[in-house]
Structure 1
Amino acid sequence: MPPPDTEPQSQLTHRQSITTKIFERDYVPPNFTIKELRQAIPPHCFERDTLKSFSYVLKDLAVIGVLAYAATYIDSHLPLALRFIAWPTYWFFCGAFATGVWVIAHECGHQAFSPSKTINNAVGFVLHSALLVPYHSWRISHSKHHKHTGHVTKDQVFVPKTRSKLGLPLPTDDPEQMNHSVFEDTPIITLFNLIGQQLLGWPMYLIFNSSGQVYSDRWANHFNPNSPIFDPKNYVNVIISDIGMIIALSAMVYLSYVYSFLSVAKYYLIPYLIVNHWLVLITFLQHTDPKLPHYRESQWDFIRGATCTVDRHIGFLDSIFHKITSTHVAHHMFSTMPHYHAEEATHHLEKVLGPYYIFDDTPIFKALWRSFSTCKYIEDEGDILFYKN
Structure 2
Amino acid sequence: MPESGAPTDRDWGLKVSAPARVAPVEDEDSGAKKINGVNGINGVDKEDKFDPGAPPPFRLADIRAAIPKHCWIKDPWRSMSYVLRDVVVVFGLAAAAAYLNNWVVWPLYWAAQGTMFWALFVLGHDCGHGSFSNNPKLNSVVGHFLHSSILVPYHGWRISHRTHHQNHGHVENDESWHPLTEKIYRTLDDSTRTLRFMVPFPMFAYPFYLWSRSPGKTGSHFHPDSDLFAPNERKDVITSTVCWVAMVALLVGLSCVIGPVQMLKLYGVPYWIFVMWLDIVTYLHHHGHEDKLPWYRGKEWNYLRGGLTTLDRDYGWINNIHHDIGTHVIHHLFPQIPHYHLVEATKAAKPVLGKYYREPRKSWHLPFHLIGDLIGSMRRDHYVSDTGDVVYYQTDPELFGSSKTKSA
* Both structures adopt the same fold (TM-score exceeding 0.5): yes
Q: How does 1:230-379 map to 2 (within 5 A)?
A: 230-289=229-288, 291-325=292-326, 327-361=327-361, 363-379=369-385
Give CA deviations for 1:24-60 in whole Å, capped at 9, x if unaligned: x954232432211110000000000000001111111
Alpha carbons of 1:181 and 1:94: their partners in 2 closer, same or farther (altered >3 Å)? closer
Aligned to 2:31: none
* Structure 2 residue 198 is the aligned partner of structure 1 residue 193: yes
Q: Secondary structure at the match of 2:295?
A: strand
Q: How does 1:112-261 map to 2 (within 5 A)?
A: 112-167=131-186, 193-199=198-204, 201-210=205-214, 214-215=216-217, 219-261=218-260
CA contact (8 A) 2:131 2:336 kept: yes
Cα distance in structure 2, aligned partners of 1:368 and 1:222: 26
Match of 2:125 among 106, 115, 128: 106
Q: Hey, which of these two has a bigger chunk of helix by percent?
A: 1
* Structure 2 residue 54 is the aligned partner of structure 1 residue 28: yes
Cα distance in structure 1, aligned partners of 2:125 and 2:325: 10
Cα distance in structure 1, aligned partners of 2:201 and 2:350: 35
Q: Which moved more, 1:56-65 or 1:35-44?
A: 56-65
Aligned to 1:388: 394
Alpha-carbon shift at residue 183 of structure 1 (Å): 9.8
**For residue 349 of structure 1, what is the amino acid of its counterpart?**
A
Match of 1:89 among 108, 120, 127: 108
Cα distance in structure 2, aligned partners of 1:351 and 1:121: 36
Alpha-carbon shift at residue 339 of structure 1 (Å): 0.3
CA contact (8 A) 1:32 1:303 kept: no
CA contact (8 A) 1:103 1:321 kept: yes
Cα distance in structure 1, aligned partners of 2:125 and 2:56: 28
Q: Secondary structure at the match of 1:167?
A: helix
Match of 2:93 among 67, 71, 78: 67
How many residues of Structure 1 are paired with residues of Structure 2 in the alignment?
338
Cα distance in structure 2, aligned partners of 1:298 and 1:338: 31
**For residue 233 of structure 1, what is the amino acid of its counterpart?**
N
Alpha carbons of 1:229 and 1:183: their partners in 2 closer, same or farther (altered >3 Å)? closer
Alpha-carbon shift at residue 388 of structure 1 (Å): 1.2
CA RMSD of aligned residues (A): 2.3
CA contact (8 A) 1:145 1:155 kept: yes
**For residue 253 of structure 1, what is the amino acid of its counterpart?**
V
Alpha-carbon shift at residue 191 of structure 1 (Å): 10
Identity percentage over the alignment? 38
Alpha carbons of 1:163 and 1:87: their partners in 2 closer, same or farther (altered >3 Å)? same
Cα distance in structure 2, aligned partners of 1:301 and 1:183: 35
Cα distance in structure 2, aligned partners of 1:109 and 1:153: 23
Cα distance in structure 1, aligned partners of 2:304 and 2:89: 38
Cα distance in structure 2, aligned partners of 1:99 and 1:226: 28
Q: Which runs of 4+ in 1 moved over 6 A?
A: 180-185
Alpha-carbon shift at residue 101 of structure 1 (Å): 1.0
Cα distance in structure 1, aligned partners of 2:154 and 2:350: 32
Alpha-carbon shift at residue 167 of structure 1 (Å): 2.4
Give CA deviations for 1:247-278 in whole Å, capped at 9, x if unaligned: 10000010011111111111111111111000
Which structure has the bigger radius of gyration? 1
Cα distance in structure 1, aligned partners of 2:210 and 2:198: 18
Match of 1:38 among 51, 64, 67: 64
**For residue 366 of structure 1, what is the amino acid of its counterpart?**
G
Give CA deviations for 1:94-123 in whole Å, capped at 9, x if unaligned: 111221111000000000111111111110
Alpha carbons of 1:228 and 1:190: their partners in 2 closer, same or farther (altered >3 Å)? closer
CA contact (8 A) 2:195 2:201 kept: no
Aligned to 2:45: none
Q: Secondary structure at the match of 2:391?
A: strand
Alpha-carbon shift at residue 372 of structure 1 (Å): 1.0
Q: Secondary structure at the match of 2:138?
A: helix
Give unmatched runs, 5+ long, in structure 1.
1-24, 76-82, 169-179
Alpha-carbon shift at residue 380 of structure 1 (Å): 1.3
**For residue 332 of structure 1, what is the amino acid of its counterpart?**
H
Report the TM-score, using the length of structure 2 for normalisation. 0.79
Aligned to 1:21: none
CA contact (8 A) 1:376 1:388 kept: yes
**For residue 268 of structure 1, what is the amino acid of its counterpart?**
Y
Give unmatched runs, 5+ long, in structure 2.
1-49, 363-368, 396-408
**For residue 291 of structure 1, what is the amino acid of its counterpart?**
K
Alpha-carbon shift at residue 222 of structure 1 (Å): 0.6
CA contact (8 A) 1:184 1:190 kept: yes
